[in-house]
Amino acid sequence: MRLQVDNQRMIAAGLANQNTIAFKRDYGTVSSTYFDVDGGTDRVFPSRGSAAVDIESGKMIATENPLDVAIEGEGFFSGKNAAGDNVITRRGDLHMGPDRILRNGENIVLDGDAGPITLPPFEAIEATRDGTIVIRPPGAQVNAPLVAVGRLKLVQIPADNVERGADGLLRPKNNVIPAADANITLNTKGLETSNINPIDAMVEMLNSSRTFEIHVKLLATAKELDDSTARLMRNDR
């Protein structure tokens, strides 16, 4: 029953974030644990395995914003949270922070090839398919070539090495950010939606609720049987 409550909490969190850019749903595994102690009765209990993150891509939506990007296929942006810890994310709604450092909508400082990308003054800015951030400096001709100011660090991390921290951000389980992968490309002027399917999530929620109710009824039935047995024993005396 406790595990079913955990499942409902996990599903509810996914539903609450179905409109969050590039959100990835969580899921957990349930396994059987054999309980055996000296002098005790052998029993099997359900146990929760390690939580996992479904890194399946969401849908792509066009925004025409030059700083909106979405990763095509597998991969992550590398970045730092407010505490300076290494994190990874798929969220590509980029903007310039008050310190002129490039961040995304989660306020993650995105890594470049040489650290955080600091943006100089510009008249126009955009991201290219390989993750390069280019600008048109103030006073430059409209048709002048754009100037590169940094390149986003795009990395490949296997699904079984991704976990969600207590702050809701994704991290490698081994806390190791690999080298940039030049094969990862971006879909520019667009964003990735969450991979939450609200219909599937509601079905999962209903199934989990029904399973919980069945266990409640089983407990009630077991208690009735115990009470009946106790009454029979008293009557026999």
Each residue's pLDDT tens digit, 153-165: 999 999 999 999 8
Residue 37 is assigned to a structural domain of this protein: no
- Residues with Cβ within 8 Å of residue 94, at least 6 apart in sequence: 67, 68, 69, 102, 103, 104, 110, 127
**What is the model's pTM?**
0.78
Tokens of 186: 């971006």
Give the span between the Cα atoms of 205 and 3, in whole angstroms: 13
Residue 28 is assigned to a structural domain of this protein: no
Residue 69 is assigned to a structural domain of this protein: yes
Residue 235 is assigned to a structural domain of this protein: no
Tokens of 16: 């609450």
- The tally of CA atoms less than 13 A away on the side-chain side of residue 224 is 6
CA distances (Å), origin 58, targets 54, 92, 112: 11, 13, 24
Number of structural domains the chain divides into: 1
Residue 72 is assigned to a structural domain of this protein: yes
Give the span between the Cα atoms of 162 and 197, in whole angstroms: 21
Residue 164 is assigned to a structural domain of this protein: yes
Higher pLDDT, 84 or 208: 84
Give the span between the Cα atoms of 43 and 40, in whole angstroms: 9
Determine the structural domain holding residue 68 and report its residue range. 60-192
Each residue's pLDDT tens digit, 33-67: 766 666 655 676 776 666 688 899 999 999 999 99
